Amino acid sequence: MQNLSVRSSGFTDSVIRRMTRVSLKYDAVNLSQGFPDMDPPQAILDRLAQIAPTGPHQYALTWGARNFREALAEKQRRFMGIDIDPEKEIVVTCGSTEAMMAAMLTVVNPGDKVIVFSPFYENYGADTILSGAEPIYVHLKPPDFNFDAELLEQAFRQNPKAIILCNPSNPSGKVFTREELELIADFAKKYDTYVITDEVYEHIVYAPYKHIYIASLPGMKERTISCSSLSKTYSITGWRLGYIIASERVIENARKVHDFLTVGAAAPLQEAVIPGLKFPDAYYDGLLAEYTHKRDLFLKGLSDIGLPYTEPQGAYYVLLDMSEFGVADDVRFCEELAESVGVGAVPGSSFFREPIHHIIRLHFAKKDETLYEALNRLAHIRTKIRKKSRCTKP
């Protein structure tokens, strides 16, 4: 038989999603794939129940139901501080996963270069391969995950078509400062580069850090393709509701890409989430307070156990330094962690371009009791993992 496509053979399955399967296999507390075990807001669930008998149950407009887009434009205008035309500047997608892929296919020709900060959310690897882009990696250096401005400009000098900006950043928890965003914006304008953002953690930014939308900086609305989703903001990761906000010119093409990829996002779910899009600021303050509490609880637990980590400024991930375990293969290490300790994690090598194998990622988007259970299990990590490795040594 003929070979399958080079495209589809050029990447592995998602390690993040694989670690969820590994966690299930060993009945581990799954802190790998980032999704909450908290319920969505009641108003959204009530609306979902209310529309079950009446619908909509058929296709929404391909680029999103009008009332959903109107509510979304209003909400994002409030937070982003820019005007958004719901008729011309939004396409509703199946999660930000599709938004990012559609954005890439909209701007990138095969062979075009795209700047990716490393560590990066693993989807961007597959996104570049599927769109035929050639990534130029720029290292974010732990523990602050700052970048070298000169190295970034060197990357821009290679004439990239786009830069992917995940802000707040997964997995590092970095929140880009205004100065950093201004520098990226200046380079983007100077070298005529699009900025494709992934801002799904826009409402999870811990004080004193602040989320700044790069699209809101002077001259950036035209060249920014803002991707985000409702998954994390309303705890509805399974609903697959995301979107692209960009200029009319970009959206015109992005709508076509989206149309032929998926036709559209689920119509009843678009309808059901509208009360959420209309929540007042108090909802977002409450969400942040909840995640701040979880972050503090979880980081304190890790400190008590003596596991070193870098403190996230935003999002709900924490990177842990596992060097004391002499990790050579972090994928194997995470499997062992799930099997012997009972906690699911993601190996750092699925995020870092650099040969880094001593880091793992955990997330804390879980009920307090789930986090306590994970911490109780992690408290035994040194006996479980050390003992096991000693046993297997000749």
Positions touching ligand GLN (CB under 6 A) are 16-17, 33-34, 97, 121, 170
Nearer to ligand GLN, 17 or 141 (CB): 17
Nearer to ligand GLN, 160 or 344 (CB): 344
Minimal CB distance residue for ligand GLN:
34
Nearer to ligand GLN, 220 or 236 (CB): 236
Minimum CB distance to ligand GLN, residue 134 (Å): 24
Q: Using CA atoms, how far apart are residues 320 and 378, in angstroms rounded to an integer?
A: 12
Minimum CB distance to ligand GLN, residue 218 (Å): 30
Contact 107, 195 (CB under 8 A): no
Q: Which of 117, 13, 17 is nearest to 346 (CA)?
A: 17
Minimum CB distance to ligand GLN, residue 128 (Å): 17
Minimum CB distance to ligand GLN, residue 151 (Å): 25
**Beta pairing partners, 135:** 114
Nearer to ligand GLN, 194 or 316 (CB): 316
Minimum CB distance to ligand GLN, residue 121 (Å): 6
Nearer to ligand GLN, 89 or 202 (CB): 202
Minimum CB distance to ligand GLN, residue 275 (Å): 24
Nearer to ligand GLN, 170 or 226 (CB): 170
Contact 228, 199 (CB under 8 A): yes
Q: Which of 177, 255, 210 is nearest to 79 (CA)?
A: 210
Q: Which of 371, 345, 366 is nearest to 36 (CA)?
A: 366
SS3 at position 261:
helix
Tell me whether the omega of the peptide bond preceding residue 143 falls within 30 degrees of 0, making it cis.
yes
Q: Which of 235, 273, 265, 211 is nearest to 99 (CA)?
A: 265
Q: Using CA atoms, how far apart are residues 102 and 119, in angstroms rounded to an integer?
A: 22
